[in-house]
Amino acid sequence: CLEASSARCRCLICGASASCSQVPVGWVSTAIRTDDWSIFLHQYSPYHNVSTEATYPQALFVTSTKDDRVHPGHARKMVAKLSGHGTAKDTTYYYENIEGGHGGAADN
């Protein structure tokens, strides 16, 4: 986590090229100005707003194992959640490139 006194573990924000100790504490606190993290997530997060009553179109989630800005766990969790959804379970697709980075491209 970012600091020993942190109330929440924020390690999922760390990318492949950074350890959690390299991510500035102020980056998270200035990006999200709320004391209640769950209110923020439930307001804006597509993951937290998946509805059992909604019908979802086909979706393709593309990520990279070596993304140094967005952890591939975010895409993995969303795909897992939609895969258990009645209208999305057969039309949710996932591709994880083991090379490349945040742009998704690999040059080797």
Q: Tens digit of pLDDT for each residue in 11-30? A: 454 555 554 444 444 445 44
Q: Tens digit of pLDDT for each residue in 32-76? A: 555 667 777 788 889 888 998 999 999 999 999 888 888 899 999
Amino acid at 5: S
Inter-residue contact 78 to 47 (CB < 8 Å): yes
Q: Supply φ then ψ for residue 64, to 5 degrees.
A: -130, 135
Residues 99 and 106: their CA atoms lie apart, in Å, by 5
Could you tell me the pTM of the whole model?
Answer: 0.63
CA distances, 24 to each of 4, 21, 51 (Å)? 14, 8, 34
